[in-house]
Amino acid sequence: MKFTAPEGDEPEINLIPLIDVILVLLIFFMVSATFDQHGRIKLQLPQATVEAKADPEQPLILQIDAEGRYFVNNSEVVNSRIETLKAALEQLGGEPSERPVVLRADARTQHQAVVTAMDALAQLGYRNIAIATVRSDSQP
């Protein structure tokens, strides 16, 4: 067997399938590309003023010391039972769902004392609860 090409026939590369593949890829990337749509949407944003409320309500301050004793607005609660804490909170009056509460617990306080305080506040209907912390000096 002789596998030599006859004289005058030179091998050639057919470019038509290559052009077809490149065209299909080009169409695919054009269709699937995402364009920045933020420049097309024109919005007129509403205006607001930065004014404080005329009569801001003083927050209720609930403090827990390292031994687990409760203080409501700097007045010590008789014991650390949840019923006693709820009674002390109810004596303050006002609407619990609207009044803000700042929970200040010592870092050495047992976790159960904080959970009990949060449970008492939730049972009475307090919803705006903030936990006070201090900024750490060390950066991770």
pTM for this structure?
0.57
| Whether pLDDT at 70 is above 60 | yes
What residues contact residue 73 under an 8 Å CB cut-off, 6+ apart?
Answer: 60, 61, 92
Percent of the chain past pLDDT 70, that is, above it, reads 76
Q: Work out the percent of the chain whose per-residue pLDDT is above 90.
A: 31
CATH domain 60-131 topology = Nucleotidyltransferase; domain 5 (3.30.420)
Q: Is the pLDDT of residue 11 over 70?
A: yes
Dist CA 63 CA 114 (whole Å): 9
Mean confidence (pLDDT) of the chain:
81
DSSP conformation letters of 109-130: S-HHHHHHHHHHHHHHT---EE
Backbone angles phi, psi at 87, to 5 degrees: -65, -40
Instruction: For residue 38, give both structure tokens.
Output: 């933020």
Q: What share of residues in the chain are helix, strand, coil (percent, to 5)?
A: 30, 15, 60
Q: According to the model, what pLDDT value does residue 3 have? A: 66
Burial of 120: CB neighbours in 10 Å, binned 0-12, 13-18, 19+ = buried
Residue 26 has pLDDT above 90, yes or no: yes
Distance CA(57)–CA(92), nearest Å, equals 13
Binned at pLDDT 50, 70 and 90, residue 135 comes out as confident
Cα separation of 3 and 9, whole Å? 13
Q: What are 41-56's pLDDT values in tens digits? A: 565 666 666 665 545 6
Q: What is the pLDDT of residues 82-132, one digit of tens each?
A: 999 999 998 887 788 888 999 999 888 898 999 999 999 999 999 989 988
85/116 Cα distance (integer angstroms): 9
Q: What's at 126, amino acid-wise? A: Y
**Lowest mean pLDDT, pick from 5-14, 25-34, 78-87, 127-136:** 5-14
